[in-house]
Amino acid sequence: MLQFKLVLLGDSSVGKSSIVNRFVKDSFDEFRESTIGAAFLSQTVTIKDSDANGNEAQEVTVKFEIWDTAGQERYKSLAPMYYRNANAALVVYDITQADSLEKARSWVQELKNKVDDDSLVIYLVGNKIDLATDDDKDKREVEENVAKTYAEENGLLFSEVSAKNGQGIQQVFRSIAEKLYDI
């Protein structure tokens, strides 16, 4: 079985722990306690390998070893310990908090400056899309296109998700597994 190390980075309260909890346990807590230092969890995903002709050949199980970091400033100096040996980084922002995208950009910059390994997969995730609605209750502050363009310009994978209702969560990890498997 292939194993990959994955680290979550991003401002506090954007939903990093909730994303991991949805992925690992398929559950969501409305009132989750903020992470102290970092938490370690693991989970597998199964992807389909294809042969040279593009025919599906076999299923491949990929295990993620996940470091869920605390977003608070006072833990910032610990982050390099977790991203230094990572194969993938999930940089998370909250689509209802414009500031959190700025924080995400600074994490991406730090990763690009400090991680030598060009094969590091960086995935930008906009969480809490359940709060974007078509009526006057819409809480969205970050347009999808703004983040998407930024991601494309910087060679990042990107999608919007909801840890609350599960939308897009499995796909994030599957895409990372497929990308890492191809490398």
What is the binding site for ligand GDP (CB under 6 A)?
10, 12-18, 30, 32, 34-35, 71, 127-128, 130-131, 162-164
Closer to ligand GDP by CB, 41 or 131: give it: 131
In the complex, the smallest distance separating the C-beta of residue 168 from ligand GDP, rounded to whole angstroms, is 10
In the complex, the smallest distance separating the C-beta of residue 158 from Mg ion, rounded to whole angstroms, is 21
In the complex, the smallest distance separating the C-beta of residue 27 from ligand GDP, rounded to whole angstroms, is 11
Partners of 99 in beta bridges: none
Between the CA of residue 89 and those of 7, 66, 85, 108, 133, what are the distances in Å? 5, 10, 10, 9, 29
Helix runs in the chain, H state only: 16-25, 79-83, 98-114, 144-153, 169-182
Closer to Mg ion by CB, 35 or 87: give it: 35
What b-and-e string marks burial along 40-51, b requiring 16 or more CB atoms within 10 Å of the CB? ebebebebeeee
Among the listed residues 14, 15, 21, 35, the single contact to Mg ion using CB under 5 A: 35
In the complex, the smallest distance separating the C-beta of residue 165 from ligand GDP, rounded to whole angstroms, is 7
Between the CA of residue 12 and those of 64, 68, 81, 99, 130, what are the distances in Å? 22, 11, 18, 11, 19
Binding to Mg ion (CB under 5 A) within 102-141 occurs at none
Residue nearest ligand GDP, Cβ-based = 15
Size of site (CB under 5 A) for Mg ion: 3
